[in-house]
Amino acid sequence: MGGNTTGSAFRVTTWGESHGPALGAVIDGCPAGLELAEEDIQQALDRRRPSTGVASTTRAEEDTVEILSGVFEGRTTGTPVSLMIRNQDARFASYEALKDVFRPGQGDYTYFRKYGLRDWRGGGRASGRETAARVAAGAVAGKLIATAGMKVLAYTKNIGGIEIGNMCVSPSEEWIKKVRENSLHCPDEKAAAVMERKLAAVREEGDTLGGVVEIIVSGCPAGLGEPVFEKMDAALACALMGIGTVKAVETGDGIDVAFKKGSEVNDQMNEKGFMKNSAGGILAGITTGEDIILRAWCKPIPSIACGQQTVDIQGRNRSIQIQGRHDVCVIPRIVPVCEAMVSLVLADHWLRQKAVRL
Amino acid sequence: MGGNTTGSAFRVTTWGESHGPALGAVIDGCPAGLELAEEDIQQALDRRRPSTGVASTTRAEEDTVEILSGVFEGRTTGTPVSLMIRNQDARFASYEALKDVFRPGQGDYTYFRKYGLRDWRGGGRASGRETAARVAAGAVAGKLIATAGMKVLAYTKNIGGIEIGNMCVSPSEEWIKKVRENSLHCPDEKAAAVMERKLAAVREEGDTLGGVVEIIVSGCPAGLGEPVFEKMDAALACALMGIGTVKAVETGDGIDVAFKKGSEVNDQMNEKGFMKNSAGGILAGITTGEDIILRAWCKPIPSIACGQQTVDIQGRNRSIQIQGRHDVCVIPRIVPVCEAMVSLVLADHWLRQKAVRL
Amino acid sequence: MGGNTTGSAFRVTTWGESHGPALGAVIDGCPAGLELAEEDIQQALDRRRPSTGVASTTRAEEDTVEILSGVFEGRTTGTPVSLMIRNQDARFASYEALKDVFRPGQGDYTYFRKYGLRDWRGGGRASGRETAARVAAGAVAGKLIATAGMKVLAYTKNIGGIEIGNMCVSPSEEWIKKVRENSLHCPDEKAAAVMERKLAAVREEGDTLGGVVEIIVSGCPAGLGEPVFEKMDAALACALMGIGTVKAVETGDGIDVAFKKGSEVNDQMNEKGFMKNSAGGILAGITTGEDIILRAWCKPIPSIACGQQTVDIQGRNRSIQIQGRHDVCVIPRIVPVCEAMVSLVLADHWLRQKAVRL
Amino acid sequence: MGGNTTGSAFRVTTWGESHGPALGAVIDGCPAGLELAEEDIQQALDRRRPSTGVASTTRAEEDTVEILSGVFEGRTTGTPVSLMIRNQDARFASYEALKDVFRPGQGDYTYFRKYGLRDWRGGGRASGRETAARVAAGAVAGKLIATAGMKVLAYTKNIGGIEIGNMCVSPSEEWIKKVRENSLHCPDEKAAAVMERKLAAVREEGDTLGGVVEIIVSGCPAGLGEPVFEKMDAALACALMGIGTVKAVETGDGIDVAFKKGSEVNDQMNEKGFMKNSAGGILAGITTGEDIILRAWCKPIPSIACGQQTVDIQGRNRSIQIQGRHDVCVIPRIVPVCEAMVSLVLADHWLRQKAVRL
């Protein structure tokens, strides 16, 4: 009930606060026999870390993962895999000044209303830092589904209105390389350079930018997903909308199909398979075997340096100006989180599928 | 695991196929003492039924609900509430011709790939008819959350590109009345008339249209939702994307915020509360107490009368033309389904919240 | 949360009250492709019905099951299987006199304290009649695990202190036939005759008797069960103790092992397998491949004709004498319920095991 | 699905192996505002540790717990409480000799059959050491239910056939003190002395003993438990049978009631309440408000020093003699585990009850 667990066959529970001793995840249901080492997870965590680019904060977290259980002699044993990341740079003095105040656009007010108290150090559990645990668990999921040929790629589609063109279907190795090498996780170098300039300008203003992440899953077998409440697109929408910054989620041609006719939208088939993929790899909530295509629309980071009006826990007016280390754009750090969340859903549904036929 | 259950405190399991003996839902976790009669549910089912308008099929289902358990002397007893709707007009001769063929845009192909066999009568469980059970269960959820002052209103925002303007915040009684009385569930009569004309024209072509449903929840208390994987917006996105026709989901200002700056998006506060509601009533996955605002983008119905190319279960090319009774636009029937799904999520999270504080 | 669902891969939700319109079960997660007809389920229900023997009531329920969904052309489709049994003989006038009174040994008092109100017609959901739905669902589970060679047999071990000797390991066809043919489900005819006489005498006194049911599972593969909280023996104990009348549960040599030494209890192995089966087929919560052996100790039925002292809902002293149709011993009707519950657990864990190894 | 999580409102997931880096538990759903410090948990862990008595091993684990999340300024925040215990004395050389051999009475064989590989260091996850994580989580549950007046006491009822008499109803402070002070957790000093002598003699033989733990819950409110599959007694039986060593579970008068008449067993009531408590505080699966009474029958520890016959992973005959540090009787260490498991169930059902009435 507590809402910190996801999945039914590949179950992941995360825990931890921004400025507590550590963050972590427990994976229950990872099949026995999967090769797994801390390096596999560390790579994903490193991609989530603040880069040296203009988009990022200066918080210097190493984010070193430790596998505490469930792996023996280099393979998973079938018992829970416990992952832990110690918080190393947990200075919270800068938050003390705002401990009685609700920062606009953050979870401060809603956590207080939910629980009657809150951990005000860096947003506590509502901090984006919590996603490190998801990325760690997602890396294990990613390794698992890779054994079935699935590959999940997320990349920056748009920052502050600067949008890159469509990729060809099923990302090529070259395209993936470009995503991995660019500090904004954007495969179009020229667009990325424009984004960087815009980010630098907005940072000067003490303001922040949003954007769009696109996620492509290639190699997903047909037949994954459930008929009614846990349709594959529903599960994926839940996964992506469950990232703090995401305000809208699309599958396939998404928004555009609302304005088209059935004859334009239906993906007809012939002996070679689907003739196009407007559906984005999912029909009636179940995968078609085509690429799964998703887009997550992200709001700008709410921690801005500009002055803002708010109230404190007594409900009195307060004017604040947020200090401290903050990113100017969340997109580069959200890209690996999107990959992780999508991988978790696929791992779960892939395992569930094993019991569907006699 | 089977994906036909939703919720953890207010748990709903649905069952039934388009052309089987019946459809139904079992609600486990409805608190004892709620006044409940079949009429309460029947009203919602009647709103979901094909109207006499141009958008609808001619399938003449009465959709009479029967309460089989969990209610005694007019009140819920705390034990499972079982609801059943008999299928009365279950002619499936028109489907027999296509029983070996995968209709484009439907679940035919994916169900076959998932289960290795499929109930081809009217789409089986993948039929939109399955949503009758959701609407029945949603009506119970709606009665439950109404005891806490919550009200869920869905209405037609856009059909085939014809879009109505924004409503004022928190729907007035007049606005609600207009929605309830219009056969397209559209509160703007003039726009509705234009939609009707467009629908009539598209029907002539044997084609179909999509659209947008907007959902407003008023009276929702602050504090509902869970911190990480079951954030309120994630749960609502899952609920809406779990409707077969929905391809994108937005909360609050949704897509637009991706192109704005933090200073524009943040909802600042003063002593009177939030100064605006760009967030759509949810921050960090937890309700703020403001109206919850959602939009569901729906694809056109795939059952078109135009000729289409597809394959059969042996993978051979086939040209088909779909016969039978089909709507030209799903939106009017999806409106009550959206209300139902949102009500289910709110009922669940409202009950869960009772155990959150010491 | 509501406690009316069991299983995680093979999920069963039951609903219904003793004197409501119907009882039923929804099975979500039954694999596609299982041959299933109403007759398969009817057989199990018929074994649960009151026999003409001395142990039973005279309530004349036909208990005819209807499959409402999830089966097409004689096979399961993978979607939920909904089962319904109409209550046909639902006279409750005899209960009206006691509607404000808590009958000793029944759920009257506790349901009232839990829910603040109760369905007093025949015990409502607390009635033993609820087990009809479990037996129906258990019959489907039984068919499923039979495809893997598993067979579940329960029989009467003891009624009112009259106990039959140990069966040979893995019940023979002859033994099973004897169980099926005897009206007390007791394979030892002579003992059964003595039980019958004792039951007749106790019925004269207006009193009731308890007893012991033994359950043997043959053909269960090694490796089923989970490491910590859902060990196979824990799941089975939960299943059996969840039958209203059961007050103690044993696995293998059970109680006796508490008084033995490790050297006597350990089941040593050699090349042919386990040298004995003191463990009852389960080690560390996981099946060994040997027969699973369980015993359920049942209390006498609380509905006795003798005068009893109790209180009403205002807490005032009341003397009562229970009228109506009541069994003198629950054991014969509990035997098929035990089979059902054990089958449900095995079906669930057998499906879960499919996702355990890479 | 993985079976390492228990509870639905108060959810606990444990992880860790006997000789891995650490063990731990994540609690999701603990209400916000509970005072909690590491000392609260440490006390329970200390009671579980090997004492200096004759029953225990010499493994010198400090078992120091660390709270990694979910507590801020001395109170729970409502977010997951993560607990970790580092394994400090994880020498496993003595196990290396047996790494290809299945020790009789252990999980070696069944884990291998389940997962296809196993962590052979000290039994891996099948080790009794895993219960340290349960005790840690149970201590939090115990603190939570204490706020509602509930108190859980377990004690040694029987070791190797030496049994103590019945306690008076609802344990007195003096009785509790005696349990807490005795190294065998046995409140009868004289019996405890006899037990110690028997244990010493059996240790000489290289053998082990089983016994019986009794658990009393006082102060439990009426109304906890669920109607069908999660009856309170079913949940408690599951919890206790889920302890590796337990082979039978009784509630109330348990086994004895199978041989009594209804008129003897029914707990009649008068204006002062129940006139006796044969039911052990539970009727129809729901608590009555009387003391809950449970007994767990435990097998002797399988790690005996005597020679034993077994097979290796190739199925070849092997004669073994187990070396290393092993207890002669599990009872003293199981007593706090029983308390923990019962506390977890009560905490879960107490929270669930908050949403049961309108």
Q: What are phi and psi of B79, to 5 degrees?
A: -95, 170
pLDDT in tens, D136-174: 999 999 999 999 999 999 999 999 999 998 765 678 889
D20 to A69: CB separation less than 8 angstroms, yes or no: yes
* pLDDT band at D322; cut points 50, 70, 90: confident
Can you tell me whether residue B283 is helix, strand or coil? strand
A358 to C33: CB separation less than 8 angstroms, yes or no: yes
- How close does chain C come to D7, measured CA to CA in Å? 9
Is the Cβ of D31 closer than 8 Å to some Cβ of chain B? yes
What is the separation, in whole angstroms, between the first and last Cα of chain A? 31
pLDDT in tens, B179-237: 999 999 999 999 999 999 999 999 999 999 999 999 999 999 999 999 999 999 999 99
pLDDT, position D48: 87
Token pair of B313 as six digits: 């279960």
- The answer on pLDDT for B59 being more than 60 is no
pLDDT in tens, A246-264: 999 999 999 999 999 999 9
- How close does chain B come to C82, measured CA to CA in Å? 7
pLDDT, position D49: 80
Q: Is the pTM of this model over 0.90?
A: yes
Cα–Cα distance list, C30 to A84, A195, B7 (Å): 37, 51, 20
Can you tell me whether residue A270 is helix, strand or coil? strand
Instruction: Say if residue A57 is exposed, middle or buried (CB neighbours under 10 Å; 0-12, 13-18, 19+).
Output: middle
**Beta bridge pairs of residue C154:** C215
Interface C-D: count of C-beta contacts within 8 A: 373
pLDDT in tens, C100-138: 999 999 999 999 999 999 999 989 999 999 999 999 999
Cα–Cα distance list, D292 to C72, C249, D254 (Å): 48, 17, 12
Q: Where are the alpha helices (DSSP H) in chain B?
A: 38-48, 93-96, 108-115, 131-146, 173-181, 189-204, 232-241, 262-265, 331-353
pLDDT mean across residues, chain A:
93
Is the Cβ of B119 closer than 8 Å to some Cβ of chain C? yes
- Cα–Cα distance, D210 to B74 (Å, whole number): 54
Q: Determine the average pLDDT of the residues in C164-172.
A: 77
Token pair of C294 as six digits: 């369980």
* pLDDT band at B40; cut points 50, 70, 90: very high
Q: Determine the average pLDDT of the residues in B18-23.
A: 95
- How close does chain B come to A178, measured CA to CA in Å? 23
Reported as half-sphere exposure (CB side, CA atoms, 13 A), residue C191 has a value of 19
pLDDT, position D331: 95
Token pair of A249 as six digits: 């989620």
- Cα–Cα distance, B232 to B346 (Å, whole number): 8
We report the CATH number of the domain holding residue D154 as 3.60.150.10
Higher pLDDT, D98 or C224: C224
Type of residue at A177:
K
Is the Cβ of D119 closer than 8 Å to some Cβ of chain A? yes
pLDDT mean across residues, chain B:
93
Q: In which order are the strands placed within the sheet that holds B11-16? A: B5-6, B11-16, B22-28, B81-86, B65-67
Number of domains in chain C: 1
Nearest to C80 among B9, B13, B70 (CB): B13
A225 to B304: CB separation less than 8 angstroms, yes or no: no
Among candidate residues C2, C12, C3, C4, the one with its CA nearest the CA of residue C351: C12
Is the Cβ of B165 closer than 8 Å to some Cβ of chain C? no
**Beta bridge pairs of residue A18:** none
pLDDT, position A62: 81
Is the Cβ of C287 closer than 8 Å to some Cβ of chain D? yes
Which positions in chain B touch C26 (Cβ < 8 Å)? 4, 13, 15, 26
pLDDT, position A57: 57
DSSP-derived letter for residue C164 is P
Q: Determine the average pLDDT of the residues in A10-17.
A: 98
Q: Determine the average pLDDT of the residues in B122-141.
A: 96
* pLDDT band at A56; cut points 50, 70, 90: low
Q: Determine the average pLDDT of the residues in C188-216.
A: 96
* pLDDT band at A155; cut points 50, 70, 90: very high
Is the Cβ of C81 closer than 8 Å to some Cβ of chain B? yes
Is the Cβ of B356 closer than 8 Å to some Cβ of chain A? yes
pLDDT, position B246: 98
- What radius of gyration do chain B's Cα atoms show? 21
Q: Determine the average pLDDT of the residues in C38-42.
A: 97
Long-range contact pairs involving D320-324 (C-beta distance under 8 Å, separation at least 24): D320/D98, D320/D101, D320/D103, D322/D98, D322/D103, D323/D94, D323/D97, D324/D94, D324/D95
* pLDDT band at D62; cut points 50, 70, 90: confident
Percentage of residues of chain B with pLDDT beyond 90: 87
Which positions in chain C touch B3 (Cβ < 8 Å)? 28
Q: What are phi and psi of D289, to 5 degrees?
A: 100, -15
Is the Cβ of B285 closer than 8 Å to some Cβ of chain D? no
* pLDDT band at C61; cut points 50, 70, 90: low
- The answer on pLDDT for C233 being more than 90 is yes
- The answer on pLDDT for D106 being more than 90 is yes
How far from the centroid of its chain's Cα atoms is residue D202's Cα?
A: 24
Q: What are phi and psi of D300, to 5 degrees?
A: -65, 150
- The answer on pLDDT for C49 being more than 90 is no
Token pair of A275 as six digits: 């003739």
- The answer on pLDDT for C341 being more than 90 is yes
Q: What is the DSSP string of A59-79?
A: ------EEE-SSEETTEE-SS
Q: Determine the average pLDDT of the residues in D16-24.
A: 96
- How close does chain B come to C177, measured CA to CA in Å? 36
How far from the centroid of its chain's Cα atoms is residue D324's Cα?
A: 24
Q: What are phi and psi of C200, to 5 degrees?
A: -65, -40
* pLDDT band at A327; cut points 50, 70, 90: confident
Is the Cβ of B354 closer than 8 Å to some Cβ of chain D? yes
With beta carbons less than 8 A apart as the criterion, state whether B44 and B141 touch.
no
Token pair of D134 as six digits: 């349960």
Residue D209: which residues within 8 A CB-CB, separation 6 or more?
Answer: C261, C262, D159, D160, D198, D199, D202, D300, D328, D329, D331
pLDDT in tens, A44-54: 999 988 665 66
- Cα–Cα distance, D79 to D65 (Å, whole number): 18
- The answer on pLDDT for A205 being more than 90 is yes
Type of residue at B139:
A
- Cα–Cα distance, A227 to B114 (Å, whole number): 10
* pLDDT band at D55; cut points 50, 70, 90: low
Helix axes B38-48, B331-353, angle to 10 degrees: 140
pLDDT in tens, C85-108: 999 876 777 788 889 999 999 999
With beta carbons less than 8 A apart as the criterion, state whether A213 and A157 touch.
yes
With beta carbons less than 8 A apart as the criterion, state whether D1 and A347 touch.
no
Nearest to C110 among D229, D266, D288 (CB): D288
* pLDDT band at C171; cut points 50, 70, 90: confident
Q: What angle do CA D117, D123, D129 make, to 5 degrees?
A: 135
β B65-67/B81-86 pair status: antiparallel
- Cα–Cα distance, D223 to D287 (Å, whole number): 5
Token pair of C55 as six digits: 């142990």
Among candidate residues C329, C273, C339, the one with its CA nearest the CA of residue C303: C329
Among candidate residues C270, C142, C140, C135, the one with its CA nearest the CA of residue C217: C142
pLDDT, position C147: 98
- Full residue range of the structural domain in which residue D107 is found: 5-354
Token pair of C233 as six digits: 């023996």
- Cα–Cα distance, B323 to B304 (Å, whole number): 9
Is the Cβ of B230 closer than 8 Å to some Cβ of chain C? no
Buried b (16+ CB within 10 A) or exposed e, A73-90: eebbbbbbbbbbbbbeeb
pLDDT, position D61: 64
Can you tell me whether residue A345 is helix, strand or coil? helix
- Cα–Cα distance, B225 to A338 (Å, whole number): 21
pLDDT, position D326: 79
pLDDT mean across residues, chain C:
93
Give the nearest chain C residue to D283 (CA atoms): C107
Sign of the four-CA dihedral C233, C234, C236, C237: positive
pLDDT in tens, D256-285: 999 999 999 999 999 999 999 999 999 999
β B307-311/B317-321 pair status: antiparallel
Sign of the four-CA dihedral C200, C203, C207, C209: positive
D1 to A8: CB separation less than 8 angstroms, yes or no: yes
Is the Cβ of A117 closer than 8 Å to some Cβ of chain C? no
B227 to D79: CB separation less than 8 angstroms, yes or no: yes
- Cα–Cα distance, D250 to D237 (Å, whole number): 8
- How close does chain C come to A76, measured CA to CA in Å? 10
pLDDT, position B218: 96
> Scanning the structure block, which residue is given the tokens 């939109």?
B128
- Cα–Cα distance, A59 to A326 (Å, whole number): 8
Is the Cβ of D5 closer than 8 Å to some Cβ of chain C? yes
- The answer on pLDDT for D21 being more than 60 is yes
pLDDT in tens, D177-205: 999 999 999 999 999 999 999 999 999 99
C20 to B69: CB separation less than 8 angstroms, yes or no: yes
> Scanning the structure block, which residue is given the tokens 């009539």?
B200
With beta carbons less than 8 A apart as the criterion, state whether C266 and D306 touch.
no
Residue A193: which residues within 8 A CB-CB, separation 6 or more?
Answer: none
Q: Strands, DSSP E only, in A123-261?
A: 151-159, 162-163, 211-218, 246-251
Can you tell me whether residue D264 is helix, strand or coil? helix
